[in-house]
Amino acid sequence: MKRIQINHGRIIDPANSIDRIGDVYIADGKILSVTSKPDAFEADIQIDASGQVVCPGFIDLSTRLREPGQSRKGTFKSETLAAASAGVTTLCLQPDTVPVIDTPAVAELIKELAEKAGYPQILPIAALTQKLEGTELSSMLSLKQAGCIAVGHANQPVKNLLILRRAMEYAASHDLLLMLRPNDYWLGNNGCAHEGALATRYGLPGIPEAAETIALSQCLELAELTGCRVHFGQLSCKRSVIKIQQAKNDGLRVTADVAMHQLHLTENDMTPFDSAYHVLPPLRTEADKQYLRQGVATGTIDGIASDHQPHDLDAKLGAFPETEPGISALETLLPLLMKLVVEGALTLPEGIAALTSKPAEILGLRRGALTPGLSADVCIFAPGSAWRIDEDNWRSQGTNTPYWGHTLKGRVTHTLQAGLIIHKSA
C-alpha cells in the first residue's frame, strides 16, 4: 500500500475540531497523522492541495444505484464513478432494488457488484418487510449478519401499524437502526406536488404536509413505546423539524436528514413543470425551506443526503404527474453545499459535518473523520472552482437534474477511499 502526503490544504475535520492549513499523511490505507509529519515518513505520492479544502470523504445516507434490476437507469459502475467524482466514499443503498434486499443472498449480490465496480463501501439497507409489501417481516437479523447497515422501507408503505410496531420491537431487541422516510401513502393519494396554492392553480394532485407529519408522529409514538433507534430520512417541512426537535428534547433516540435539493428548491421552482423537479417528498414552500436550513444549522437535522435517483429519459417524459420522481443528485452535492455556505445558511465546517461525521455517528461507523488509525477516506476540493453541469462533466447515467446547463462552484479534485485514489480530476 502506498504512502500519500497531501500538502498545504485547508484541513476541515469537524469530528476533531480541526480547521487549519496543513498536511495529511496516509499509509497502509489509513490516516497516519494530520499536520504533524511522522518520523521517517517518505511519501510515494504527493498531492498539492494548496488553495483547496481537505476533509473526510462524504457519507451518503440515501442512494439508488438502480442495480440490480434497472441497469437502463444506472449501474454500479456508472453511479460509483459519479460518487467518486463527487467526493462520496460511502453509500447507503435503499432496499427497493429488483429483487428487493430482503434476503442475505441479495445482500451478498450487492457486495459482489460493489467489489466488481471497485467501490466496496456500499452499505445496503435491508427491507423491513418481505418484498417491501408491508405485511410480513423480513429476516432482519440474518440481513444484519449479511452486512446490511440498517432496515428500512424505501418509499413503500407499511400497511399496518401493528406490523411496524412488531418490526420496531424486533429491531430494538437486536440494536438495529430503522431508517424511514415518513410518509402516509394514502394521504399522499398519488400526488406529485405540494398541496398548496401552486398545485391548486395548475390542477396538480397535491401531497399535504400531513402525509409526512402524521406518519412521523405515529412512528415517534412507536419509537417511545419500543425503544427503537429511528433515523428519519428526507424531511421536507417545518412541522417535521419541530416534531424532531421535540422528540430529541424528550430523549428519544431519533435522528434525521434532509435531501440537499430540499434546502434549495421550492414549489415555485417547478414551473413550467419540468419533470426534473418532480421529487418525493414534493418541493414545498419557501418557509419550509428556510426552516429546514435552520434545522441543519442548529443540529436538529443531523445530516444531508443526496437522495440520488438516476432515471432514463423515458421515466421523465410525459405530463408532470405521470413522470417518475427523483433527481440524479450525487454530483451536485458539493456545489449545492457551497451555495448554502455562500448564502450564509451554514458555515463550511457545519456543512461538512452534515456530510461526514454526523452520518457516521448515525450509522455507528468509524469513518467520517481524519482521526489517525481510521480508514483514509478523503475528499479534496476546490471551493471556488466553477464548472458547467453538462455531458462533458457528468458521470451518472441519469441526467435528470434541474441544474443541467447551470454553472456552479465547488469541484472535487481528488477522492481517496481507504487510501486508494478513486478519483482525480483531469
Active site residues: 307
Q: Where are the alpha helices (DSSP H) in 146-237?
A: 161-173, 185-188, 197-202, 209-226
β-sheet with 229-232: strand ranges across: 58-63, 88-93, 122-127, 150-152, 177-180, 229-232, 254-259, 303-305
Q: At what angle do helices 348-355 and 286-298 cross, to 10 degrees?
A: 90
Q: Which among 380, 382, 391 has a CA at the least distance from the CA of 410?
A: 382
Whether the bond into 281 is cis, omega within 30 of 0: yes
Backbone angles phi, psi at 325, to 5 degrees: -75, 155
* Adjacent-strand bridge partners of 255: 231
Nine-digit cell at 198? Answer: 401552486
Measured at the CA of 59, the angle between CA 53 and CA 60, to 5 degrees, comes to: 120
> Which of these, 321, 200, 302, lies nearest to 247 by C-alpha position?
302
Q: Which helix (H) or strand (E) holds 31?
A: strand 30-34
With 0-12 / 13-18 / 19 or more C-beta atoms within 10 angstroms meaning exposed / middle / buried, residue 52 is buried
Peptide bond into 99 cis (omega under 30): yes
Cβ–Cβ < 8 Å for 38, 373: no
Cis peptide leading into residue 272 (ω within 30°) = yes
Taking CA atoms, 55 is separated from 15, 21, 116, 319, in Å, by 10, 12, 27, 42
